[in-house]
Amino acid sequence: MKIVVPIKRVVDYNVKVRPLGDQSDVDLNNVKMSMNPFCEIAIEEAVRLKEAGTATEVIAVTVGKKDSQEQLRTALALGADRAILIECEELLEPLSIAKVLSKVIEEEDPKLVILGKQAIDGDNNQTGQMLAALLNFAQATFASKVIIEDDVAVVTREIDGGLQTIKIKLPAIVTTDLRLNEPRYASLPNIMKAKKKELDIRPIEDLEIDVSSRTELLSVELPPERQAGIKVESVEELLNKLKTEAKVIS
Amino acid sequence: MSILVIAEHDNSNLKPATLNTVAAASEISPLVHLLVAGNSCQSVTDECSAVEGVEKVLLADDVAYENQLAESIANLIKSVSSDYTHILAPATTFGKNILPRLSALLDVQQISEIIEIISEDTFKRPIYAGSCIATVKSNDSIKVITVRATAFDPVNTSGGSATVDSISAEGVSDLSSFVGEEIAKTDRPELTAASIVISGGRGMQSGDNFHLLETIADKLGAAVGASRAAVDAGFVPNDYQVGQTGKIVAPDLYIAVGISGAIQHLAGMKDSKVIVAINKDEDAPIFQVADYGLVADLFDALPELSEKL
């Protein structure tokens, strides 16, 4: 069974992002970039399925600038067998990314596609579901447990208020939630080995897909700042303030 | 301009986030329709037709919609989509699961988690865990949108008198099927609907210690939440999680206990009306957003708080 794992290069989750001076976009000059944390979980799940003998090959794919090779190399160091970069200078919207990925997936013909539930830059939470629609695949989003049984997957999903388990026909799309697994760190020997693995780079033009934008970013601003309040000395004083000043408890 | 709002429900009751979504829709146009897709969901339909500002309820009552699986529901919404300029759903796990699938079926770029409506095609939404707010204009002919419930005050559950149109099942898919569900049973209010939330972080040290929060929650009628750090550490299940990757809450009172205040947590609670932080580290970033900060060991402060309530 072949597994394709689409990943994304994003601003590292420890970086506090700010708007550009002219508020036209976020300021991404000289910020640290990493693999999106939910994508790490997706790679880990695919690699575990390979280690368990369920999967035979894990292919990491991304759509982005040349620099995205770094994140694909990380995916290879974490255990992916080969990688594909669809090179594109512009930042694409989720719908366009899903269209590009659907073309790659049609060519690769995997049994399973695992990807992060959202990227921590745009926080859109769309690509997996869109990809499922374009391919007419079943989808299991926000997965916390994945079991493969021949031609179906039984997936437990994190939903508001609890857990839901569904059965999906393969091929299918699974998007990862936090508790699916704990991703490993790449070891030095594996990082060295990853340098020799196959990384195929293709210009996006070759796919002949319309990736024009449907939305316009008009501005990016900081959210209204919340002012720090006061420090209270005791539980007694806290309760007093909540009752008489804030009036939120009685 | 007619707007379709997808009702979230469990076949017996309408979920409150639907009311906030109707409120957002009503800001765009007075012609708001609600789609109820479910099985034997007459009581939900009755609730929906009484909701303030709803003109019409579309009811697709069929066993195929019992568990509202994305493949079938997205196809159903698509079958009625040509009548609408906007299709909205709450940005809950329900809406987030279905709407992007619909969006791709309609060849539309969805706008996720809007917090403000500027005009019929322009919206504000948080990006980078709420570190920045983007203003985005959609040029698609149908706008597919998820709505952050806490950013819009809910409409009333009464006052409406919508007509009900039954529609037939369309595009039922057998790609996925329902196996089971484990919904946490609790007498406490739901996190996103509670007027008081008390959350614990890594400082709680263990899952067992969350009973200290639960005791207080029960006295205040509050919901119990947690930071991602507490979830990652295995103290509590993921559905407790408040933050960028969990639930977004905006109660009247939010009490953060043993939570340092990572950006990702603040993204989920900084719109609360009053924020209280209890932490023994006086430099913890949570104090920068707290209205009332108490620098104390939570294992002393919580029992005292509980006793004095």
ipTM, interface predicted TM-score of the complex: 0.95
Which one of A117, A174, A226 would you mutate to disrupt binding with B, by most B Cβ within 10 Å of its Cβ?
A226
Mean pLDDT along residues A184-208: 97
Judge: A13–B264 Cβ closer than 8 Å, yes or no. Answer: yes
The number of CA neighbours under 13 Å toward the Cβ of B281 is 14
Residue B185 has pLDDT above 80, yes or no: no
Task: Tally A–B CB contacts below 8 A.
Answer: 262
Judge: B137–A216 Cβ closer than 8 Å, yes or no. Answer: yes
List, as ranges, residues 70-129 from A with C-beta within 8 Å of B. Answer: 93-95, 98, 118, 120-129
Between residues B231 and B185, the one the model is more confident about: B231
Residue B124 has pLDDT above 90, yes or no: yes
List, as ranges, residues 74-113 from B with C-beta within 8 Å of A. Answer: 74, 92-94, 96-105, 107-113
3-class state of residue B186 by DSSP = coil
Which one of B142, B176, B286 would you mutate to disrupt binding with A, by most A Cβ within 10 Å of its Cβ?
B176
B260-282: string of b/e by CB count within 10 Å (b at 16+)? bbbbbbbbbbbbbebbbbbbeee
8-state DSSP, A245: I
Whether B71 and B176 have beta carbons less than 8 Å apart is answered as yes
Q: What is the pLDDT of residues B19-62, one digit of tens each?
A: 999 999 999 999 999 999 999 999 999 999 999 999 999 999 99
Residues of chain A in contact with residue B99, where contact means CB-CB under 8 angstroms, are 129
Distance, in Å, from the CA atom of A47 to the CA atom of A113, rounded to the nearest integer, reads 12
Unique residue bearing structure tokens 């996720």: B112
When pLDDT is cut at 50, 70 and 90, the band that residue B127 belongs to is: very high
* Furthest CA-CA distance within chain B: 60
Mean pLDDT along residues A92-116: 98
pTM, to two decimals: 0.93
Nearest to A166 among B111, B178, B183 (CB): B178
Judge: B133–A222 Cβ closer than 8 Å, yes or no. Answer: yes
Whether B114 and B125 have beta carbons less than 8 Å apart is answered as yes
Residue B304: Cβ-neighbour burial (10 angstroms; 0-12, 13-18, 19+): middle
pLDDT value of position B190: 84
Residue A73 has pLDDT above 80, yes or no: yes
Which one of B68, B98, B103, B279 would you mutate to disrupt binding with A, by most A Cβ within 10 Å of its Cβ?
B103
Whether B137 and A121 have beta carbons less than 8 Å apart is answered as no
Distance from CA of A127 to the nearest CA of B (A): 8
Judge: B175–A17 Cβ closer than 8 Å, yes or no. Answer: no
Residue B245 has pLDDT above 90, yes or no: no
B252 in A contact zone (CB under 8 Å)? yes
Using only C-alpha atoms, chain A has a radius of gyration, in whole angstroms, of 21
Residues of chain B in contact with residue A221, where contact means CB-CB under 8 angstroms, are 132-133, 135
Residues of chain A in contact with residue B92, where contact means CB-CB under 8 angstroms, are 160
Residue A193 has pLDDT above 80, yes or no: yes
What are the domain boundaries of chain A?
Answer: 2-244
A144 in B contact zone (CB under 8 Å)? yes
Which one of B123, B181, B227 would you mutate to disrupt binding with A, by most A Cβ within 10 Å of its Cβ?
B181
Rounded to the nearest 5°, which phi and psi values hold at B111? -105, 115
Rounded to the nearest 5°, which phi and psi values hold at A163? -125, 145
Residue B139 has pLDDT above 90, yes or no: yes
pLDDT value of position A162: 86
Lowest-pLDDT range of A12-16, A59-63, A128-132, B31-35: A12-16
For A2-244, the fitting CATH number among 1.10.420.10, 3.40.50.300, 3.40.50.620, 3.30.200.210 is 3.40.50.620
H helix or E strand, kind and range, residue A157: strand A152-159
Mean pLDDT along residues B9-24: 96
The number of CA neighbours under 13 Å toward the Cβ of A230 is 9
Residue B129 has pLDDT above 90, yes or no: no
Mean pLDDT along residues A243-250: 90
Distance, CA of B11 to chain centre = 18
pLDDT value of position B171: 95
Distance, in Å, from the CA atom of B21 to the CA atom of B12, rounded to the nearest integer, reads 19
Residue A14: other Cβ atoms inside 10 A: 9
Judge: B110–A126 Cβ closer than 8 Å, yes or no. Answer: yes
Distance, in Å, from the CA atom of B271 to the CA atom of B262, rounded to the nearest integer, reads 15
Distance, in Å, from the CA atom of A248 to the CA atom of B275, rounded to the nearest integer, reads 10
Mean pLDDT along residues A106-122: 97
Given strand A215-221, what is the order of strands in its sheet?
A215-221, B132-138, B122-127, B116-119
pLDDT value of position B263: 85
Residue B184 has pLDDT above 80, yes or no: no
* pLDDT mean across residues, chain B: 95
H helix or E strand, kind and range, residue B293: strand B292-295
Residue partners of A119: CB distance under 8 A and separation at least 6: A8, A10, A36, A38, A39, A127
pLDDT value of position B178: 98
Judge: B253–A246 Cβ closer than 8 Å, yes or no. Answer: yes
Residues of chain B in contact with residue A177, where contact means CB-CB under 8 angstroms, are 238
Residue A180 token pair: 């699916």
Which one of B97, B125, B239 would you mutate to disrupt binding with A, by most A Cβ within 10 Å of its Cβ?
B97
In which region does residue B141 sit, left (phi positive, over 0), alpha (psi from -120 to 50) or beta (all else)? alpha
- Do β-strands B253-257 and B196-200 pair in parallel, antiparallel, or remain unpaired? parallel
Distance, in Å, from the CA atom of B256 to the CA atom of B266, rounded to the nearest integer, reads 10
Residue partners of A31: CB distance under 8 A and separation at least 6: A11, A12, A15, A17
Q: What is the pLDDT of residues B191-238, one digit of tens each?
A: 887 899 999 999 999 999 999 999 999 999 999 999 999 998 999 988
| The amino acid at A4 | V
3-class state of residue B269 by DSSP = helix
Distance, in Å, from the CA atom of A139 to the CA atom of A120, rounded to the nearest integer, reads 21
pLDDT value of position A228: 83
Distance, in Å, from the CA atom of B61 to the CA atom of B58, rounded to the nearest integer, reads 10
Alpha helices in chain B (DSSP H): 17-28, 42-50, 70-80, 93-105, 210-220, 228-232, 263-269, 298-308
Nearest to B135 among A160, A162, A218 (CB): A218
A33 in B contact zone (CB under 8 Å)? no
Mean pLDDT along residues A162-185: 95
pLDDT value of position A115: 98
Residues of chain A in contact with residue B288, where contact means CB-CB under 8 angstroms, are 226, 228
